Amino acid sequence: MEKPDEKLGEGFLSSLNDFVPPWLDLRSTLSTGFFLLAGFIAALVVGWILFPMILYSKQPQPINFNHAVHIDEESGIEGETETEKCLYCHEFREDGSFAGIPKIDKCIECHDDPESSIGETLEEKEFLQNYVAEEKEVSWFSYYRQPDCVYFSHIAHVNMGKQECFVCHGDHGKSEKIPVYQQNRLTGYSINIWGKRLSGWKTNTWDRMKMDDCAECHTKTGHEENNACFVCHK
């Protein structure tokens, strides 16, 4: 007795045969197709998974920094809004320039006694011993730093442009663990600039910050005047 699905398969092949020229052998074409597909998938694995692994070098940060505990009500950081809390550490200096990642002085405002920690964590004790006690700066890698040829000012975007931190930085300011720093071996750029997806596909405004992403927002917010080369490259 014939199995119904075999018959169905044969029937499908022969009905396909009606549509292809007689000199074409459908069976071998299909198997060629299979190898093409397998090759294509192998190329995708290399291109999307292996190549990025080789392209980026990974460097762990010197210590972890927990934004979440510092943004918490209990931490003692003042501020009506979330942005005000961020600006407690990432402040604007008198002249309007951005202080960036805070220096150890800022931390010592609260973590002032190397011998007694505020909380219970081992992480904090290590931080007190290795940095606070010696007033040593932590050498953070910056995820968002642009190449030197790019001019960017936070005060223009945060105060004048009224852009929230998360639009460009996502959830970094609320995270408990900071990610491993990944640097592109060819360009020296952080993975946060060119984006985590090689295709360039982005779902959020903060997935990457290339030239086009800067310009896209300028256009959207009606500030096309800032899309001339000399505005960002002085």
Using CB under 6 A, which residues numbered 114 to 143 contact ligand HEC?
118-121, 123-124, 127, 140, 142-143
Select the residue interacting with ligand HEC from 144, 184, 195, 202 (CB under 6 A).
144
Residue 77 binds to ligand HEC (criterion: CB under 6 A): yes
Task: Measure the CA–CA gap between 157 and 84, rounded to whole angstroms.
Answer: 15
> In the bound complex, what is the minimum distance in angstroms from residue 63's beta carbon to ligand HEC?
6
Residue 65 binds to ligand HEC (criterion: CB under 6 A): yes
Per-state percent for the chain, helix, strand, coil, to nearest 5: 50, 5, 45
Look at the alpha carbons of 152, 155, 176, 82 in this order and tell me if their dihedral is positive or negative: negative
Q: Contact at 8 Å (CB) between 12 and 19? A: no
Give the amino acid at 8.
L
Task: Measure the CA–CA gap between 205 and 196, rounded to whole angstroms.
Answer: 13
Task: Measure the CA–CA gap between 87 and 90, rounded to whole angstroms.
Answer: 5
> In the bound complex, what is the minimum distance in angstroms from residue 3's beta carbon to ligand HEC?
59
- By beta-carbon proximity to ligand HEC, the closer residue of 174 and 202 is 174
Residue list 1-60, contact with ligand HEC (CB under 6 A):
none
- By beta-carbon proximity to ligand HEC, the closer residue of 17 and 218 is 218
Residue 89 binds to ligand HEC (criterion: CB under 6 A): yes
Burial 24-60 (b: 16+ CB within 10 A, else e): eeeeeeeeeeeeeeeeeeeeeeeeeeeeeeebbeeee
Select the residue interacting with ligand HEC from 82, 92, 184, 195 (CB under 6 A).
82
Cα angle value 118/120/125 (rounded, 5°)? 75
Query: Per-residue contact track with ligand HEC, 168 to 207, x per CB under 6 A?
Result: xx--xxx---x--------------x--------------
Closest to 102 in 3D by CA, of 43, 111, 197: 111
- By beta-carbon proximity to ligand HEC, the closer residue of 25 and 109 is 109
> In the bound complex, what is the minimum distance in angstroms from residue 171's beta carbon to ligand HEC?
9
Select the residue interacting with ligand HEC from 20, 42, 167, 198 (CB under 6 A).
167
Cα angle value 119/120/121 (rounded, 5°)? 105
- By beta-carbon proximity to ligand HEC, the closer residue of 39 and 79 is 79
> In the bound complex, what is the minimum distance in angstroms from residue 120's beta carbon to ligand HEC?
6
> In the bound complex, what is the minimum distance in angstroms from residue 34's beta carbon to ligand HEC?
40
